[in-house]
Amino acid sequence: LGNLVVLYDSNGIQIDGSTNLGFTEDVLKRYESYGWHTLEVADGDNDLVGLTRAIETAKAVKNKPSIIKITTTIGYGAAKAGSAGVHGAPLGADSLAAVKKLFGFNADQKFVVPEDVYKYYGERAAQGAQTEKVWNELLAKYAQVHPKLHAELSRRLEGRLPEGWEDVLPRYSPSDKALATRKLSETALSALAAKIPELMGGSADLTGSNLTRWKDAVDFQPESTELGNYAGRYLRFGVREHGMAAIGNGMAAYGGVIPFTSTFLNFISYAAGASRLSALSKLRVLYIMTHDSIGLGEDGPTHQPIETMAMLRATPNYLNFRPADGNEVSAAYISALQHSDRPSVLSLTRQNLPQLEGSSIEQALKGGYSLQTYGSGSKLDLLIAGTGSETSIAVDAAKLLAEQGLTVKVVSMPCLELFSAQSDEYRHSVLTPGVPSISVEALSTFGWHKYVHCPIGIDTFGASGPYLELYELFGLTPEAIAKKALKIVDYYKSTPVPTLALEF
């Protein structure tokens, strides 16, 4: 990071007044303790020569980043200079005129840029064009000498994925072993890391739980630490969820790499400020979030997400996946990587899940699809929508209901955002109008009324205990769901089934 020079404007003012009200640390000492090179310009209002000298000195330091503390007066030259009064309020006509006079401008003119400023920036533009020309010529020579490396560099800079990258992702059948979706994610991520060299990321001190480090991964570390090297692609973020998400944003914005970050799903709340900016800035950041429900067990309600997925689903431009099996995990990675203008959350289980009859990568890419129908009737009596670990529970509940003579369709909905983007006709074909419907998800029911008549979930905090006991406690077993479902079916025998407002 020897090329990094940070200019720290220290004006001593915050919105509430003096920064002394809530900020007394020595910033340069703090950065010195980080191993940074530190400099200070005492009069940032007037000492432009000193500021230039400090910047040149910092640029000459190549073995560490530099920070320059520049002491300034906020609103310099204005009537309320040095106070919070100029932080977010207009200066006013008289004060603005005084500032203009101080810096040699005509106080009566407005929105005027002096001709010498235009000239200066015109010269800078010409210099930039010449620099770009030299670079393009160098790149052309590089293409002649190293055609394969040039093609690879161009592909990454243009944001194109390697040919056939989707083909490395595994497909599963019901005969395959039941596995936690975090384990299925590990398999998928390992395959993708070998095929997509720009895929780079890590975990916030939960690598062994998130399963995000492939076998031959090398840590991104200084060689002097003997822990890795700068060719490494695995990042150890430490317990810094917000910083991790912010770093992911920076990597995605710079380009040439595809960042992934990872922690427990509940802890994305610590990163919310930065992860929200992923969506706002249209950045492709993959959030690989494990331990996604009460299924994590004994860690209890401090670790068990309830409202977290509802928050993420309410955030514009996010893709939020709760895959139910291996095919849906592969589909989640395909969709996350294909959408270069939005972040994705992969919400993954700690507990093992079966590979489902009827699932496929192609179907899951639609966000929601008809998994299977149970029962022999010609007309549906009930529809059960499930996500993630509860989809297999929905299947078992449907089988119980079929034994009682009902015909039940199970719908898997791994990504509500993708499903909502499908055609009206397709969504109608999945969430069949005129059929009573329920959803099953071990999270908050908030937002599900848009899709089903009666959502079943958890609208309290979780609890600590073995996960199977917790599912029983919260009524998320096949037997408990079937019992509720019978009541719903009976209710709609005498009440018209409403058509839901699915934004058709």
Task: Residue 440: name the closest of 405, 474, 400, 490 by CA.
Answer: 474
Could you tell me which residues come within 8 angstroms of residue 240 by beta carbon, excluding any fewer than 6 positions away? 204
Q: Chain-centre distance of CA 96, in angstroms?
A: 43
- Continuous segment of H or E residues that includes residue 242: helix 241-254
In angstroms, rounded to a whole number, what is the distance separating the alpha carbons of residues 155 and 204? 29
Catalytic residue (choose from 186, 198, 241, 390): 241
Residue type at 128 in one-letter notation: G
410 beta partners = 372, 384
Active-site residue, 137 included: no
* Alpha helices, H only, 7-82: 27-33, 48-60
Token pair listed for 269 = 């709340």
- Under a CB-based contact definition with an 8 Å cutoff, are residues 353 and 185 in contact? no
Helix (H, G, I), strand (E, B) or coil at 369: strand
The secondary structure of 249-287 as a DSSP string is: HHHHHH-S-EEEEEEEGGGGGGGHHHHHHHHHTT---EE
Helix (H, G, I), strand (E, B) or coil at 388: coil
In terms of DSSP bridges, do strands 437-440 and 382-386 run parallel, antiparallel, or are they unpaired? parallel
Which DSSP symbol is given to 500? P
Which DSSP symbol is given to 377? -
Q: What is the phi/psi pair of residue 159, to 5°?
A: 80, 20
Burial zone of 496 (CB within 10 Å; 0-12 exposed, 13-18 middle, 19+ buried): exposed
- Under a CB-based contact definition with an 8 Å cutoff, are residues 403 and 308 in contact? no
* Alpha helices, H only, 294-325: 308-314
The secondary structure of 411-475 as a DSSP string is: EE-S-HHHHHTS-HHHHHHHS-TTS-EEEE-SS--TTGGGT-SEEES--S----S-HHHHHHHTT
Burial zone of 259 (CB within 10 Å; 0-12 exposed, 13-18 middle, 19+ buried): buried
Residue type at 373 in one-letter notation: T
- Continuous segment of H or E residues that includes residue 67: strand 66-71
Q: What is the phi/psi pair of residue 199, to 5°?
A: -75, 120
Q: Could you list the active site residues?
A: 241
